[in-house]
């Protein structure tokens, strides 16, 4: 057998992004970066196909496109209910976003989560060669490392959490939180977006599990020592800056400008998710309109919010709440030739999205809690360097740790956000340019390739 000079990369995540989507321009930055790494190093991306079958078989669907191999597996409907819609999106997601009020704890969910993690491990195990680096993504697959170790895997194993790490008192309301957290010690490297999420993790494992942080930064629990690192994800800034100058972007921007008839556009783009602070955002905008009657009729807010996770009741509830709220605000303020909020429940191709960002004088990125938030970075990258818009950013988005020159706000305070909107709309060009230059410098430097290399650099054997 041919000896491998360099280690291959095996990426494992809940869902796999098909390399075919990249030619259609539908790929997010994460997929672009991981596919590029897979292309360079060779290897495979493994995950759920998104399809269901009557009974789990473990049969792998292999695809090879554009120099990258993807391997997918179908799940049973019960797996999807308990693992994906259940434990991942009704237990872990709300809890890790501090929404204990929306969190459901069910033994069946946990059972399904562990079962699917075991199924993933057994299915992907034969695809992993000696010396391959294995990089597991996100909250769906926390115990996967442990399941792979149980099957005898000794490779370097890394885990990256894309969402926040919760405070201990919240985490501890999760039944079986302890084995879940302990399972992270089966990895070699565990990564978070920000120092805050890392600190919360370190606090928990040292205070509640007796782990010890060594001088070299290694975190030891029992006979396992791991490295816990900060690696903030970025975007493919170059690609997005180019997209913003493309024909489809220009077309979308012109269409929006024409329909706005000279009004200043305030944009929001979010998956329809309760963590994104959309009702609070609408209420802040309403406060701004009330406080600035002279500006009524001169601004409009465009909120793009493609629905997500519609099988989960809390997502249906937030959708109904926003329908009601946007309708009420529009009813209250609209005139024969003006509607204050355009609320759109559909997604747009990436290049058109770049044009929409560029058309907007202000972006409102006001999540109540967010691991990072890539929309903030995309908005900045899409701006015209000579006449850029202003980013209003929640202090509770991971991105606030890097984007210090945004207008940072507390999203729970309608007054504070309303003030920031007024400030942004009146901000002189010189200040907009100064802030934008500082933001774009960070976004270009700490891009998605920098993030990937930082993580893989920590994972590679030394």
Contact flag: residue 119 with ligand GDG (CB under 6 A) = no
Contact flag: residue 183 with ligand GDG (CB under 6 A) = no
CB 311 within 8 A of CB 445: no
Contact flag: residue 42 with ligand GDG (CB under 6 A) = no
Contact flag: residue 111 with ligand GDG (CB under 6 A) = no
Residue whose CB is less far from ligand GDG, 233 or 459:
233
Closest separation in Å from C-beta 384 to ligand GDG: 19
Contact flag: residue 9 with ligand GDG (CB under 6 A) = no
Residue whose CB is less far from ligand GDG, 183 or 394:
394
Residue among 156, 162, 281, 435 that touches ligand GDG (CB under 6 A):
162
Contact flag: residue 358 with ligand GDG (CB under 6 A) = no
Closest separation in Å from C-beta 77 to ligand GDG: 24
The question of whether 236 is a catalytic residue gets the answer: no
Q: Which stretch binds ligand GDG (CB under 6 A): 150-158, 241-249, 314-322, 373-381?
A: 373-381
Residue whose CB is less far from ligand GDG, 319 or 350:
350
Residue among 15, 347, 408, 450 that touches ligand GDG (CB under 6 A):
347
Closest separation in Å from C-beta 308 to ligand GDG: 8
Contact flag: residue 372 with ligand GDG (CB under 6 A) = yes
Residue whose CB is less far from ligand GDG, 211 or 363:
363
Residue whose CB is less far from ligand GDG, 95 or 233:
233
- Alpha carbons 380 and 121: distance in angstroms, whole number: 39
Contact flag: residue 23 with ligand GDG (CB under 6 A) = no
Residues 6 or more apart whose Cβ sits within 8 Å of residue 330: 339, 340, 341
CB 435 within 8 A of CB 403: no
Contact flag: residue 378 with ligand GDG (CB under 6 A) = yes
- Alpha carbons 50 and 275: distance in angstroms, whole number: 24
Contact flag: residue 374 with ligand GDG (CB under 6 A) = yes
The question of whether 447 is a catalytic residue gets the answer: no
Q: Which of 162, 193, 270, 273 is catalytic?
A: 162
Closest separation in Å from C-beta 458 to ligand GDG: 17
Q: Which of 270, 370, 405, 447 is catalytic?
A: 370
Beta partners for residue 411, in sequence order = none
- Alpha carbons 236 and 56: distance in angstroms, whole number: 37
Closest separation in Å from C-beta 306 to ligand GDG: 5
Find the binding residues for ligand GDG in span 215-244 (CB under 6 A): 233
Find the binding residues for ligand GDG in span 297-326 (CB under 6 A): 304, 306
Residue whose CB is less far from ligand GDG, 304 or 400:
304
Q: What does the H/E/C string look like for the chain? A: CCCCCCCCEEEEEEECCCCHHHHCCCCCHHHHHHHHHHHHHCEEEEEEEEEECCCCCCCEEEEEECCEEEEEEEECHHHHHHHHHHHHHHHHHHHHCCCHHHCCCCHHHHHHHHHHHHHHHHHHHHHCCCCCEEEEECHHHCCHHHHHHHCCCCCCEEEECCCCCCCHHHHCCCCCHHHHHHHHHHCCEEEECCHHHHHHHHHHHHHHHCCEECCCCEEEECCEEEEEEECCCCCCHHHHHHHHCCHHHHHHHHHHHHHHCCCEEEEEECCECHHHCHHHHHHHHHHHHHHCHHHCCCEEEEEECCECCCCCHHHHHHHHHHHHHHHHHHHHHCECCECCEEEECCCCCHHHHHHHHHHCCEEEECCCCECCCHHHHHHHHCCCCCCCCEEEEECCEHHHHCCCCCEEECCCCHHHHHHHHHHHHCCCHHHHHHHHHHHHHHHHHCCHHHHHHHHHHHHCCC
Residue whose CB is less far from ligand GDG, 112 or 367:
367
Residues 6 or more apart whose Cβ sits within 8 Å of residue 223: none
Contact flag: residue 383 with ligand GDG (CB under 6 A) = no
Contact flag: residue 32 with ligand GDG (CB under 6 A) = no
Closest separation in Å from C-beta 197 to ligand GDG: 10
Q: Which stretch binds ligand GDG (CB under 6 A): 177-185, 321-329, 344-352, 380-388?
A: 344-352
Contact flag: residue 370 with ligand GDG (CB under 6 A) = yes
Q: Rounded to 5 degrees, what are φ and ψ at 54?
A: -55, -50
Residue whose CB is less far from ligand GDG, 135 or 333:
135
Residue among 231, 249, 353, 418 that touches ligand GDG (CB under 6 A):
353
Find the binding residues for ligand GDG in span 50-109 (CB under 6 A): none
Find the binding residues for ligand GDG in span 233-292 (CB under 6 A): 233, 269, 271
Residue whose CB is less far from ligand GDG, 119 or 162:
162
Residue 227: count other Cβ atoms within 10 Å of its Cβ. 16
How many whole angstroms from its chain centre is CA 178?
25
**Positions marked active-site:** 162, 370
**Interface residue list for ligand GDG (CB under 6 A):** 28, 30, 162-163, 233, 269, 271, 304, 306, 347-350, 353, 370-375, 378
């Amino acid at each position: 057998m041919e000896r491998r000079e360099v280690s291959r990369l095996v990426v494992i995540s809940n869902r796999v992004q098909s390399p075919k989507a990249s030619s259609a321009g539908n790929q997010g930055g994460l997929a672009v970066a991981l596919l590029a790494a897979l292309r360079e190093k060779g290897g495979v991306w493994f995950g759920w196909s998104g399809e269901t079958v009557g009974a789990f078989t473990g049969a792998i669907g292999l695809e090879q496109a554009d120099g990258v191999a993807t391997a997918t597996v179908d799940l049973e409907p019960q797996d999807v209910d308990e693992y994906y819609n259940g434990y991942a999106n009704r237990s872990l997601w709300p809890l890790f976003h501090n929404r204990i009020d929306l969190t459901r704890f069910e033994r069946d969910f946990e059972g399904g989560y562990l079962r699917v993690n075991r199924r993933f491990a057994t299915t992907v195990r034969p695809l992993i060669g000696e010396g391959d680096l294995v990089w597991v993504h996100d909250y769906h697959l926390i115990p996967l490392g442990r399941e792979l170790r149980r099957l005898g895997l000794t490779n370097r194993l890394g885990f990256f959490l894309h969402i926040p790490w919760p405070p201990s008192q919240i985490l501890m309301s999760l039944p079986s939180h302890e084995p879940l957290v302990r399972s992270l010690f089966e990895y070699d490297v565990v990564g978070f977006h920000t120092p805050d999420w890392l600190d919360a993790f370190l606090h928990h494992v040292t205070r509640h599990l007796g782990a010890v942080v060594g001088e070299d930064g290694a975190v030891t629990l029992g006979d396992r020592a791991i490295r816990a690192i900060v690696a903030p994800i970025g975007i493919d800034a170059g690609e997005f800056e180019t997209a913003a100058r493309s024909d489809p972007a220009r077309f979308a921007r012109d269409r929006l400008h024409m329909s706005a008839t000279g009004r200043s556009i305030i944009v929001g783009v979010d998956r329809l998710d309760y963590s994104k602070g959309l009702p609070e955002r609408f209420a802040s905008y309403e406060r701004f309109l009330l406080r600035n009657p002279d500006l009524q009729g001169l601004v409009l807010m465009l909120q793009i919010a493609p629905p997500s996770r519609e099988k989960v009741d809390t997502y249906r509830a937030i959708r109904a709440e926003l329908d009601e709220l946007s309708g009420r605000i529009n009813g209250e303020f609209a005139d024969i030739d003006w509607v204050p909020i355009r609320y759109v429940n559909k997604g747009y191709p990436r290049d058109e999205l770049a044009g929409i960002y560029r058309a907007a004088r202000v972006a409102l990125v006001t999540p109540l809690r967010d691991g990072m938030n890539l929309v903030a970075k995309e908005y900045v990258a899409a701006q015209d360097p000579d006449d850029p818009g202003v980013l209003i950013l929640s202090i509770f988005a991971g991105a606030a740790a890097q984007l210090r020159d945004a207008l940072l706000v507390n999203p729970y305070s309608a007054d504070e956000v309303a003030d920031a909107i007024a400030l942004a709309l009146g901000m002189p060009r010189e200040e907009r340019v100064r802030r934008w230059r500082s933001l774009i410098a960070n976004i270009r430097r700490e891009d998605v390739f920098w993030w990937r290399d930082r993580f893989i650099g920590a994972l590679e054997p030394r």
